Amino acid sequence: MFIKSLNSIPIEKVNAGKDTFRQILIGSDEAPNFAMRRFIIEPGGEIPNHTNTVEHEQLVLNGRAKVGIGDETFEVRKNDVVFIPANVPHWYKTEGDDAFEFLCMVPNQEDIIEILEYKKRKRP
């Protein structure tokens, strides 16, 4: 077993995103079935459209964002629960003056990430 304070966990930059950071709360090496991460997107930041080969179970902890999932766009905010199935394109763009923070759980399976931003920008 273990207990950690969120504030004691290192924060790393997510290079695929703009002004995006990540903490590994429970790593795939620390638990048998799934990992718990926190993402922080500073105001004005974004994560470009991409796919993962694993699903995401998310809870918004702070702030607001536009989230694209498949061909739809949603406004999400603190206390929204978001489920993104494996291989479904998704992106995030903050709204307002607060950091957008969310918990994101993924199974302990290989995750191949494909950035689709270039394709998205080519759309009319």
Using CB under 8 A, list all residues that contact a copy of itself: 1-7, 9, 25-26, 30-34, 36, 55, 57, 59, 67, 69-70, 74, 76, 79-85, 88, 103, 105, 107
Rounded to an integer, what distance in angstroms lies between the CA atom of residue 37 and that of residue 58? 9
Residue 106 burial (CB count, 10 A): 19
As given in the structure block, the two tokens for residue 9 are 């966990």
Using DSSP's 3-state secondary structure scheme, residue 113 falls into coil
The alpha carbon dihedral of 61, 65, 67, 72 has a sign of positive
Provide the minimum distance between the beta carbon of 13 and a copy of itself in the complex, in angstroms, as a whole number: 21
Per the CB < 8 A criterion, the answer to whether 114 and 50 are in contact is yes
Provide the minimum distance between the beta carbon of 15 and a copy of itself in the complex, in angstroms, as a whole number: 24
Provide the minimum distance between the beta carbon of 60 and a copy of itself in the complex, in angstroms, as a whole number: 9
Provide the minimum distance between the beta carbon of 17 and a copy of itself in the complex, in angstroms, as a whole number: 20
Residue with tokens 């998310």: 58
Residue whose CB is less far from a copy of itself, 41 or 82? 82
Residue whose CB is less far from a copy of itself, 16 or 74? 74
Residue whose CB is less far from a copy of itself, 5 or 15? 5
